[in-house]
Amino acid sequence: MKIRNKSLAIILSVFLISGCSSRGEQESTSDLTAFRTTVGTFCTAIAETDQRINSVDTSAEGFETQIINDLNSLNTSFSEFAAVDFPEEYDYLEHLADEASEYMAQAVAGYTKVYSDNTLTPDLMQAEFDNASEQYNNAFKRIKVIMTFLNGETSEDANVSAQDSGTLTSTEESGQ
C-alpha cells in the first residue's frame, strides 16, 4: 500500500517551485528572513521524507519499519513547524500549522497501526488506511494553504474573513 497520491505530488511541487522560495522581495527584518529559512527547511524535509516513503520496496522484508520510521520523521517535521512562532504579518496562518500537525499525528498513528498490527482484518486494515490517508491529505492541504498565502497569493482551499481579523477557515463544510 503506497501512501502517495497525485495530490501529494502536486502539493510538494508547489512547495518546491513556489512555496519555499522567496517572493523576490527584500525582507526587512531578520525575523522574516529566519522564518523564510525555517519554512524552506520544513519544505525540504517533508519533500525528502516523502521521496523516501514512496521509494520503499513494499515487497522487501521489514519494509514496514522503514515506512514507520519515515512517517515518524514526517510527524516530527510537522510538529516542529507547528511550534514555530509566525511573524506578526502571518499570525493568521499559525493555527493552520497547528491543525496540520494534529492531522499528521493522527495519520501517522493510523499508518503505524496498519503496518504494525497483525491482528487487523483486511477490511479493518483498509478502513484504517483510508482514514490515515484522509488525515494525511488534510495535513498537506493546510500546508498548501499556508504556502500559498506566504507567496502573497490566495487559496481556493480557504477564505479570509475580514470580520474574523483575517482568520483562515476551510471552505468545506466539514472543516477539512
Cell of 171: 471552505
Which amino acid belongs to residue 99? E
Q: Would you say residue 111 has pLDDT above 70?
A: yes
DSSP category for residue 17: I
Which amino acid belongs to residue 110? G
**pLDDT per residue over 134-165, tens digit each?**
999 999 999 999 999 888 887 666 543 323 33
Cell of 42: 520544513
Q: What is the mean pLDDT of residues 92-97?
A: 94
pTM of the model: 0.76
Is 6-15+30-170 assigned to CATH 3.30.70?
no
- Could you tell me where the DSSP H helices lie in the chain? 6-14, 30-54, 63-82, 91-116, 122-150
pLDDT at 169: 52
Cell of 70: 519515515
Q: Would you say residue 16 has pLDDT above 80?
A: no
Q: Would you say residue 47 has pLDDT above 50?
A: yes
Phi-psi region of 87 (alpha: psi -120 to 50; beta: other; left: phi over 0): beta
